[in-house]
């Protein structure tokens, strides 16, 4: 299994995490998830690797989160995943997957747990 980073190059934390991976000797597969969005099945698989719920990785700032009313508890897990598939900017970043596990690397130091 290789190392993968779900990356947004416009995000400083994501850029710094990518550099930390490279500095540690990894040559990660970089998935610019805004250009190549995950479908619902891909998001579910990633959440399983993270052992997380959709709410755990929802990004609010700079997204349609508030406009969509995603803080309302009425939304099911599958519905939230559907919103994330339709609006990939709702997925918090960066997410890193290595042979040692998967982490949402906010703060970026969390990447140290899996490299």
Cα 69 to its chain centre, rounded Å, is 20
Q: Is 105 a catalytic residue?
A: no
CA 96 vs CA 67, 68, 70, 75, 76: distances in Å: 28, 27, 24, 26, 25
The catalytic residue among 2, 11, 19, 82 is: 11
Task: Quote the CA–CA distance of 33 and 43 in Å, as a whole number.
Answer: 11
**Catalytic residue list:** 11
């Amino acid at each position: 299994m290789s190392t993968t980073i779900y990356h947004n190059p416009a995000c400083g934390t994501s850029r710094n995490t990518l550099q930390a991976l490279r500095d540690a000797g990894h040559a990660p597969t970089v998935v610019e998830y805004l250009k190549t969005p995950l479908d619902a099945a891909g998001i579910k698989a990633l959440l399983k690797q993270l052992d997380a719920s959709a709410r755990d990785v929802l990004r609010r700032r700079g997204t349609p989160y508030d406009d969509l009313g995603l803080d309302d508890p009425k939304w099911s897990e599958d519905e939230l995943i559907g919103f994330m598939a339709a609006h990939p900017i709702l997925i918090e970043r960066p997410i890193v997957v290595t042979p040692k596990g998967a982490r949402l690397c906010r703060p970026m130091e969390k990447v140290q747990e899996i490299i």
